[in-house]
Structure 1
Amino acid sequence: MALNIIVPLLLTMVTCKETCAVIIALHKKGLTGKFIAATKIAPQSAIYRIIKSFKERGSSVAKKAPGRPRKSTKCQDRLLKLFQLRDRAATSAELAQEWQQAGVSVSARTVRRRLLEAGLVSRRAAKKPLLSRKNIKDRLIFCKKYRDWTAEDWGKVIFSDESPFRFFGTSGKRPVRRR
């Protein structure tokens, strides 16, 4: 078989499966691995590996990957990422329940792994004072009322910082996920 006939045919092939099929077809026609490598369709080592695999298994189809199959598809993984980005403070257990309603039954650990794969890492949220419009207004009134006080006036006031007062949550160290 002439090399000038084979090369244009090989160059039109794009996918890996088609390339493997062409290599095996050429091998079945009696061409050697070295001659097939001269067509520059693939590296010589890859050609020999494909031929060896074909001889051992009788097929050019790749073996199935080992390990347990995933419980979620890529589309479902994107849905989980969307859930997380909608509520950054949601825990993995809450997300697992929400994901279960969408049809994927997985553990909280699996949710954490999928979020890490999606590039969302868990970090401690920055502490920010929670000021409502009323708080801001009251602070301004306080400042204007006592701005003329002297150090002597303030010396008569007792400030206590012995007890922490928390309005929301336990310690303010709530994890959030972000890119």
Structure 2
Amino acid sequence: QTDHYNLLKRSGRAKATTESEDKFLRVNSLRDRWLIEQQLQAQLNTGRSQQVSVSTVKRRLRAAGLTGRVTKKRLVWATKHRQWTTEDWKTVLWTDEIFGSSYRVFHSLQTWFVASTVSSLGL
């Protein structure tokens, strides 16, 4: 039969995190998008006997479709336009006026956004 299979014991090392811990990382990173991996790692490792690495946190977030690429593109754009004068900015058509601020050091900011896929857009 093509739809029948037996679950066999798998070889190899077990995952460092459980499904509930993966969900914890995903939910916390979406709840506070300014958290960096080290902060998420510290939250997860609280009360754990075996510590989880920052690399594991990054992999779990990436597997959940969360990525910091948008932030990196914004930084490149901001660096490119840093020297613009008021007159330069007057030539820009503003269609969306959303402002935000952060009290953290600019180079250490990392926000997480759900990666756009065809299925997530409903196409």
TM-score, normalised via structure 2 length: 0.55
Question: How far 1:88 sits from its partner (Å)?
Answer: 1.0
Question: How far 1:62 sits from its partner (Å)?
Answer: 3.6
- Structure 2 residue matching 1:175: 3-state secondary structure: coil
- The equivalent position to 1:110 in structure 2, one of 56, 60, 64, is 56
Alignment of 1:12-161 (within 5 A): 42-43=1-2, 62-101=7-46, 103=48, 105-125=51-71, 126=74
Unpaired segments ≥5 residues, structure 1: 1-41, 51-60, 128-166
2:70–2:113: 8 Å Cα contact kept in structure 1? no
In the other structure, the counterpart of 2:92 is none
- Structure 2 residue matching 1:63: 3-state secondary structure: coil
RMSD: 3.0
Structure (1/2) with the larger helix percentage: 1
1:124–1:174: 8 Å Cα contact kept in structure 2? no
In the other structure, the counterpart of 1:174 is 109
Identity of aligned residues (%): 26
Measure, in 1, the Cα distance between the counterparts of 2:113 and 2:47: 22
**Residues 97 and 170 from structure 1, CA distance in 2 versus in 1: closer, same or farther, beyond 3 angstroms?**
same
Question: How far 1:178 sits from its partner (Å)?
Answer: 0.8
Structure 2 counterpart of 1:108, one-letter code: V
Of structures 1 and 2, the larger Rg is shown by 1
Structure 1 counterpart of 2:11, one-letter code: P
Larger relative contact order (C-alpha < 8 A, sep ≥ 6)? 2
Runs of 4+ aligned residues of structure 1 deviating over 2 Å after TM superposition are: 102-105, 123-127, 167-171
- Structure 1 residue matching 2:111: 3-state secondary structure: strand
- Structure 1 residue matching 2:40: 3-state secondary structure: helix
In the other structure, the counterpart of 1:151 is none
Measure, in 2, the Cα distance between the counterparts of 1:122 and 1:169: 16
Measure, in 1, the Cα distance between the counterparts of 2:55 and 2:111: 16
Measure, in 1, the Cα distance between the counterparts of 2:23 and 2:105: 30
Question: How far 1:73 sits from its partner (Å)?
Answer: 1.1
Q: How many residues align?
A: 85
